[in-house]
Amino acid sequence: MFFKGKKILVIGGTGTIGTSIVKTLLHESPSAIRVFSRDEHKQHQLQNDLGERENVRFLIGDIRDYDRLHTAMQEIDYVFHLAAMKHVPACEYNPYEAVLTNVHGTNNVIKAALEQNVSKVVFTSTDKAISPTNTYGATKLTAERLITAAEYSKGNKKTAFSSVRFGNVMGSRGSVIPLFKHQILENKKITVTDSTMTRFMMTLEQATTLTIKALKEAKGGEIFVLKMPIVSLATLTRVVIDETCQQHGLDSNKISIEEIGLRPGEKMYEELMTHEESLTAWDLSDMYVIPFFTKGNVRYEGGRKARPGTYSSSGGQPLSLEELYQLLKTQRLV
């Protein structure tokens, strides 16, 4: 097993994806997992959920604090960097706070990893980093560039840095599905930004599995772009309304949908890659890989050259009503 006997630091380890990664890694018998986050309540919840485990330690800290990160990375082999400010409106109204966490914090992770001679660091980014129209996307794009540039500046250090791009993770903290359910039951109305909006969405299991796979496959400097189904907001609201009403004995025809317009910084659609990135990308069965261009003809097992394009959520085929229903049902989200 890849992680057997290894020491792992999960930064942002009490978030939805971080928690899932921690639980998954425990099956591979690592010698230590350090869960790093600034939320003591969530750390307490996860500690109770996992029970007493000799190989799991919980560290309170903030990635804005370099010294704390440096200490947390002592003798660590692999780092999963998931901590971020990611709420789009919050980043819009507090842009410098987003810079401090998403940019300055990521730079601290890089410096600490190099100083502690970590083997690999994987950074979780977002499709909003492509042609960003908001602070969140812009800071994540900058953080991606920092991770890739670390391959230039690391000198003779062994650390390999890579990034993974997500779409929306179903059921994660901040997901619209629980919000829609609450609005249906409390207000008999759903508020949406624009029903024609499309998004890339993935399950928590997919996000977890492919992030771990990206760390295992990373050679250094590349960006892994996870393949995700496209979901239209109109279809999502219909599924959630129908299923919630059926479960609670409500008339779905009496649930209204109110469009309130885009929030500051929001886009109607997302993209997975720039056209220029697609020209060098590799197409694997479950992800694309944008390699670090100075490493020559790096190849990835089972990969073929990707077709040129931006892979926009507005240009693909969204999941049908039935397909989305089955996906949400298997994830116990409806």
Q: Is the predicted pLDDT of residue 85 greater than 60, yes or no? A: yes
- Asked, for residue 320, whether it belongs to a domain, the answer is no
Asked whether the beta carbons of 31 and 56 are under 8 A apart, the reply is no
Q: At what angle do helices 204-217 and 16-25 cross, to 10 degrees?
A: 60
Tokens representing residue 85 in the block? 């400010």
Average pLDDT over residues 5-15: 97
Q: Which domain holds residue 163?
A: 7-169+201-227+272-310
Tokens 């993935």 found at? 202
Q: What is the pLDDT, as a whole number, of residue 334?
A: 81
Residue 104 · residue 68 · CB < 8 Å? no
The number of distinct structural domains making up the chain is 1
> What distance lies between CA 195 and its chain's CA centroid?
24
Residue 285 in domain = yes
Per-residue confidence at 176, pLDDT binned at 50, 70, 90?
confident
Q: What is the CATH number of the domain that holds 19?
A: 3.40.50.720
Determine the average pLDDT of the residues in 148-172.
90
Residue with tokens 């018998």: 29
Confidence of residue 173 (pLDDT cuts 50, 70, 90): confident
Instruction: With cut-offs at 50, 70 and 90, classify the pLDDT of residue 297.
Output: low
| Average pLDDT over every residue of 306-321 | 91
Residue 266 within a domain:
no
Prediction pTM value = 0.93
CB-based contacts of 101: which residues, under 8 Å, 6+ apart? Answer: 63, 64, 83, 84, 85, 139
What is the percentage of the chain residues whose pLDDT exceeds 90?
80
Q: Name the active-site residue from 42, 128, 140, 267.
A: 128
Strand order in the sheet with 304-305: 56-60, 32-37, 7-11, 78-81, 120-126, 160-166, 223-226, 287-290, 282-283, 304-305
70, pLDDT greater than 70: yes
pLDDT exceeds cutoff 80 at 300: no
Type of residue at 334: V
Residue 101 lies in a domain: yes
pLDDT (average), residues 143-159 = 93
Confidence of residue 72 (pLDDT cuts 50, 70, 90): very high
196 within some domain: no
294, pLDDT greater than 70: no
Q: What is the mean pLDDT of the chain?
A: 93
Integer Rg of the chain from CA: 20
Alpha carbon 204 to its chain's center: 9
Tens digits of residue pLDDT in 22-38: 999 999 999 999 999 99
pLDDT (0 to 100) of residue 332: 84
Q: Is 128 known to be catalytic? A: yes
Q: Average pLDDT for residues 124-144, to the nearest whole number?
A: 95
